[in-house]
Amino acid sequence: MPTTPATATHSSSNGTAEAIMLELVDENGNTIGTAEKLAAHQAPGQLHRAFSVFLFDEQGRLLLQRRALGKYHSPGVWSNTCCGHPYPGEAPFAAAARRTYEELGISPSLLAEAGTVRYNHPDPASGLVEQEFNHLFVGMAQEQPKPDPEEVVETAFVTAGELAERHALVPFSAWFMTVLDAARPAIRELTGPAAGW
């Protein structure tokens, strides 16, 4: 497989591409080792640490992103505000804030932990597998996104009703409903009952 910005982006001091390493975990989320990013996603998948971010505006609308077409995994599909993997030893909270800024150009406010969820989602299109122990975060987006086109094709703020309509019509990431449903109690606490989440 050719090296792309998605599979190897770190540049070392001698100018060569450095493999992106993920933190492997056991079923309880305890670190047990590391693996290269692509290798961890190849079937049957290795259980690794991940995070998912859900940001809302003042009207209680969720910020969605459509993943860049150049992504090696789930390109061009809609998903939650931001998701990714902490570097080995990086706190999930710090990784979530860092990647939200890198992908969308915004710094989340009131970012709070919303639990964890463990899942195994194969991606039929690529043959890759999301075998993840996912840390969930909810917060506010109090500025307009400025997406990095290498990461994000477009963004949209949607109500709960608009999300249901969109989800029925266009492709979403395999993990989207799993992480959304797991985060709903924290989302309701943040947005209030009127927002309908």
What percent of the residues of the chain are helix, what percent strand, and what percent coil, each to the nearest 5?
25, 35, 40
pTM: 0.89
Q: How far apart are CA 111 and CA 139, in angstroms?
A: 4
- Give yes or no for residue 13 having a pLDDT over 50: no
> Is 23 among the residues known to form the active site?
no
H helices present in the chain, as ranges: 37-41, 92-104, 160-169, 176-191
pLDDT of residue 72: 78
Contact, 136 vs 54, CB < 8 A? yes
- Give yes or no for residue 4 having a pLDDT over 80: no
Contact, 71 vs 78, CB < 8 A? no
- Cβ partners under 8 Å of residue 166, min gap 6: 64, 78, 156, 158
> Is 132 among the residues known to form the active site?
yes
Question: Which of 23, 82, 83, 130 is labelled catalytic?
Answer: 83
pLDDT of residue 126: 81
Question: Which of 23, 103, 130, 132 is labelled catalytic?
Answer: 132
Question: Is 182 strand, coil or helix?
Answer: helix
How does pLDDT run across 91-150, given as a tens digit for each residue? 999 999 999 999 999 999 999 999 999 999 998 878 889 999 999 999 999 999 999 999
